[in-house]
Structures are given as structure tokens and as C-alpha cells.
Structure 1
Amino acid sequence: MELINEGGLDMNVLNQRVREVLTVKFKLGLFDHPLIDNTGLADQKVHTQADENISLQMNRESIVLLKNEQHLLPIDINKYKRILVTGPMAEATNYTTSRYGPSNNPITTIKDGIIAYAKDKALQVNYTKGVDVVDKNWPESEIIPTDLSKEEIQSMTTGVRLGQESDLIIAVMGESEREVGESRSRSDLNLPGKQRDYLMKLKETGKPIILILVNGRPLSINWENKYLPAIVESWFLSGQSGRVVADMIFGEYNPSGKLPISFPKSVGQIEMNFPTKPAAQAGQPGVGPNGWGNSRVVGFLYPFGYGLSYTDFQFSNLRLNKKQIRPTDSLTVTVDVQNIGKRKGAEVVQLYVKDVVSSVTAYEMDLRGFEKIELNPGEKKSVQFSILPAHLELLDQYNKWTVEPGIFEIFIGNSSANLPLKDSFDVVN
């Protein structure tokens, strides 16, 4: 190993120093099992079966089910025999690897994952791309709409024809690594390019559509949320994204992922994030003496902590071990959770705390605990949380962290917008 002299340095000295360092490392055993050699030892260190199993589990738990109207998912293979897979991200691969990590791992695209699963179930799967991720005028087309080109119309027409011949359409849409990432901010948060135009044409077939999102940021999919029956947020998964998505939509496992961020309805709401300050997205009076009609849409498209399951859960019996504490005390909160559906599933129980009256403006509520539990149908478990003094602190007007006396409210549920249980306690000096 020799260094190249590009800076006028004494390279003989530098190269000698490199040799000395490497010699020391070999003596210390740091290179007893080099990864780059001809013995096959690299395969024992990189991309092992244990690594693969961990990756698969992480990917499965990260997928978020955003919508599932009339229980379209998991797919009933006895009902939907002919399936169309379409969309620009169905065959995409680059998002599964990184220039900062291993880039030679095996990759299964979402299209191939669905085809492989369907093959064993005697299902017929057709594929057509239908539309590109972006159009030729992008990103200007985000602010100046353009007509569909002749090529786009032809490609979409093929997709519509195949959709009409199918029982079910799986549309894999979103962003590639070229549209989202470092230094890649956008002017709009809708599906880029002509993807929504294509979805609108597919909807005209009257066939049920499952939208699989592949993306690295929240997207303002308002039309899709209103008109499509099922939406899955898969994010940027690993090389086995096709296997993970196929197993999920066909019911081999029950999704349990929750959103770690909020989805806004438009870029006009940016920055809109959880936790929110009071009146951060307050509307205006539409009626009354000061009412002149509403002029904007408010609220989250999908809130922080949100995510559906193939089963249903019920929260009950919220109890606190104390109703009054001092600023230095802790508090124990217990709640019962039951799987009231027909499938085994996991739920993320979330605990939020609100300081009702504070000396400075505080967040409306803060997430102060969460726990994922797996339950069989009908099974019930108790979940316990500890509220510590640090969970109640705020940064006061003197720039000091303090627990102020007063009433604190506790909320329990499965997202920041679905909190069916509520109680309160007092902090006294």
C-alpha cells in the first residue's frame, strides 16, 4: 500500500508510517480475519443469515398501514385472482442500498416479490410501469401544470387496459432516491410527476386499488386518501423490500408500524409537526359575526403515532397509583389492552401528558411513554408506565427546567389523535 504524493509532502516518510501502523494492527490481531480476501471469510462477516433476519424484522415493523377501507387488506386470494402491479417504484432498486453501506446485497423488487408470492398461490400477475416517477418538465411542473405527453398517454392507456382486465390493482408510487434526500427539498408534497394523473385513470376502471408508497418523506396524498380504499406506507426498505411488502399485503404478518412524523395536508402547513403548540393550526370562524367563510384546510392528514392493524384493540381500566404528587415524585400509570379482533397482532400503546396551565407556552401534549405488545384474539394484557419528574418539566421564563405545580392530564391510546382514555393528577409543592 503506497500513498500518492499530491501535496509536496515527503511521501517516503508517510508510507513508512503507514507500514508501521499496519504492522502494529496485524500484531494486535485486528486483521486476523480480513474481510477482503480470497478465502470466503467475507461472506461469514457480511450479510449473514442473522443480519438478514434482523433486517427483515426491522422492515416488517416499519411499514405503516394508513388506510384499509372495507378490509381490502390482507388480499383475499380466493377473490382476487388476476392482479395488476403497476407504478414507477414497482421495479425500483436504488433506494434499497446506500453509498455509505453495502451496495452488493441481493435485491427483490416489490414487483418481483408480489410475483413470487402469487406464483405459489396460482394467481395471475401482470405488470406495466404506467408512468415515470417525474415528468420531463419536473420540478417546474410542480408549480406550472403541463398536459400529458403522447408517450405518457400511451403508457397510461396500457395500464388502464390491463387494469380493466384485472380483479385488483396494486399501484407502487412515490419518490426515488433522486427526488428525496440530502439537498433535495421540493416545492410540493404531492406525488411527483404525473403519478396522480395515472391513479385517477386507474380509478376509472372501477377496480379496487391498493397504493403502496415508496418514499422518504411525508407526502400530501389528499386525493389518494379520499378515493383509494387501501394505502400502505413502506418508506425506503432494504434489499428484500419486495418480500416484505408481499408478505404484508397478503397477510403473512400483521402490520404494526406507527408514524414517527406527521403528514401535513399541504406545504402551506409547513412547519407543522408534533408536538404542536396551542392554536398552531387553528381555523377561522366560518359563520357568525366574524365569519366570512373558511379560506384554508387545517389539521393533519395522518397524525403522529398513527398506524392501522388487521385486527382491533380496545383500551380500558386506566388507573394511577397516585392522584397527587410532589415535583420530585414519580407516578405509575396502568392500562388494560385487549385484542378484540380475529387476528393476532401487535399494538403500540402510547401515553401522552399535558400541562393544563403553565407559566410559559408549552406543547399541547407530549409523548411520555409507549410500549408495543403482541396479543392473540381475545387476549388482554396490562401495560404499565412510569411518569418521572423529567417528564413534567418545562423550560421556564428564567431558562431553567422546572416542574410547576398544577394539574396534569394523562391520555392513553394508539396515536396522538386517538386517545380514548383520560385521567389527571395534581402536582403540589
Structure 2
Amino acid sequence: MQRELLNELRKTGKPIVFVLCTGSSLGLEQDEKNYDALLNGWYGGQSGGTAVADVLAGDYNPSGRLPITFYKNLEQLDNNLSKTSKHQGFENYDMQGRTYRYMKEKPLYAFGHGLSYSKFVYGNAKLNKNVINTNENLTITIPVTNNSERDGEEVIQVYMKRNNDALAPVKTLRAFERVLIKSKETKNIQLTISEDSFKFYDEKADDLAPKAGDYTIFYGGTSDESGLKNLQLKVN
């Protein structure tokens, strides 16, 4: 009924802001055409209504980021759905194709995604070293500019991928920081990627172990690679 109501509201020609109250991700691909903006209220609790009103009225500049992946539909999880069970459900719990770390398809809304009333532009980041050892920390400095008329908070995110390793995740979040950046201001954000970030599962050790090799460092305000810049790193 809620889906049908949203469809009827769209027919009015009025701009539609969809306030979604949910505890997890939903397949909204078929509904996205029926709203102009989506505000996820989660389970807001006692002050949830006030918080939603503040965002909609522009009294608060939102800066939240998704802590989960919003898949387009169940078909994107097809390899995990029961084909024979009377009640559709998960039978295969392999990570392949699941979560931002192993999903190669484009989701509806990516892990780490979130909009703001401010517009942030990322400059070219620098690493303190382009070649490090497995027992070293890495420092990345990222210039971020608030290219808008309104102060806002940005969540700077750094992901890492181990190149040429079919068993490694597509990318993994290794550092992040929420930063207030005033209108037209540029800040150089320095984040540390710890030596533990270069540890991956090793079958011989049956544990995490340092892995040398070539890595790609991604940085930006989302996990979606179309919104990320990257640098190359060599680990000895």
C-alpha cells in the first residue's frame, strides 16, 4: 500500500521527498522514479521527527553516510536466494557479490553514500611514501574544498585494494574522518592507514598475515568508485 501511495503522489506533479524509516537496506529500484529526494530516518526514536523536520526545513545540513549497502533488488543477491524453498530465503552465505567489499555490480546506493546541502570537491592527495614496508603506517593528505555557500561537514573516506589478488576484497575502508569545512574553505585532511591494513587472510597461517605487493588507495566521500580518486602504493 505504501508503494502504491508513493506512485499516486508522483502523479500530482509536486516534488516528492520520501522519508524512509527502516532498520536495514531495502530494494527501492522500482520506487526511485517516484521521488525526487530520499531522507533515511532509520528508527528515529523520541526526537526522530524533530531531526527530520530540521533537515527538510534546511535548519540542519545533513552529513550522514550509509553504514550498509542498498542493493537495487533481490536479483542482485540472486546467488544467495533459495530456488527450491517454499519461502524464499538465504541459503548461501558466501561473501562473493555481497557488501561493498565484494560486490562488483553497481548498487542503488553505495556504502558510505550520503548527500549534503554543501558541495565538496576533492583535490589530488599525497602519500608520505609511495613505497613502504609491511610494518609501516602510511599517511595520506587529502585537500577538500567546500565549493558552496553553506558550511557543512564532510566524511572523508579512504579505501584500499590489494591488486592482482582474486581472493582479496574489491576494496576495504581503512580510514575516515568527519570534518567541518566552512563555505569556500579548503582543508588538508591527514589520515593514517595503519600497518594492520596490509594484513589479509593467509591459508598457511590460518590467520591474518602481512601481504606485500601493489595496492590502490581510493579516497573520496563514498565507496562508489565513480566518486573516488586513487593513488598507487607498493608494499615490500
1:265: Cα distance to partner?
1.2
> Corresponding residue for 2:99?
274
Unaligned runs of 5+ in 2: 81-96
Alignment of 1:313-332 (within 5 A): 313-332=120-139
**Moved >6 Å (runs of 4+):** none
> Corresponding residue for 1:226?
33
Say if 2:88 is the partner of 1:309. Answer: no
> Corresponding residue for 1:201?
8
> Corresponding residue for 2:51?
244
1:199: Cα distance to partner?
1.2
Aligned to 1:352, the other structure's residue is in SS state strand
Distance 1:345 1:396 in 2: 42
> Corresponding residue for 1:426?
234
Aligned to 1:301, the other structure's residue is in SS state coil
User: 2:45 is aligned with what amino acid?
Assistant: S
1:311: Cα distance to partner?
1.1
> Corresponding residue for 1:411?
218
**CA pair 276-317 structure 1, distance change in 2 beyond 3 A:** closer
Contact 2:111 2:222 in 1 (8 A): yes
> Corresponding residue for 1:396?
202
Distance 2:113 2:194 in 1: 25
TM-score (norm 2): 0.86
Q: How many residues align?
A: 216
Contact 1:265 1:301 in 2 (8 A): yes
Pick aligned residue for 2:146 from 316, 336, 339: 339
1:397: Cα distance to partner?
2.0
Unaligned runs of 5+ in 1: 1-193, 282-297
> Which protein is bigger by CA-based radius of gyration?
1
Pick aligned residue for 2:192 from 382, 386, 396: 386
Distance 1:386 1:256 in 2: 22
Contact 2:222 2:228 in 1 (8 A): no
TM-score (norm 1): 0.49
Distance 1:349 1:402 in 2: 27
Alignment of 1:14-413 (within 5 A): 194-270=1-77, 273-277=98-102, 280-281=103-104, 298-358=105-165, 361-398=167-204, 399-413=206-220
User: 2:124 is aligned with what amino acid?
Assistant: N
1:390: Cα distance to partner?
0.5
1:337: Cα distance to partner?
0.7
Structure 1 or 2: larger helix share?
1
Aligned to 1:222, the other structure's residue is in SS state coil
Contact 2:120 2:154 in 1 (8 A): yes
Distance 1:411 1:383 in 2: 14
Q: Which moved more, 1:415-424 or 1:244-253?
A: 415-424
Contact 1:261 1:273 in 2 (8 A): no
Q: State, as a whole percentage, how many aligned pairs show the same letter.
A: 34
Distance 1:357 1:223 in 2: 36
Contact 2:16 2:34 in 1 (8 A): no
Contact 1:410 1:422 in 2 (8 A): yes
Distance 1:273 1:345 in 2: 32
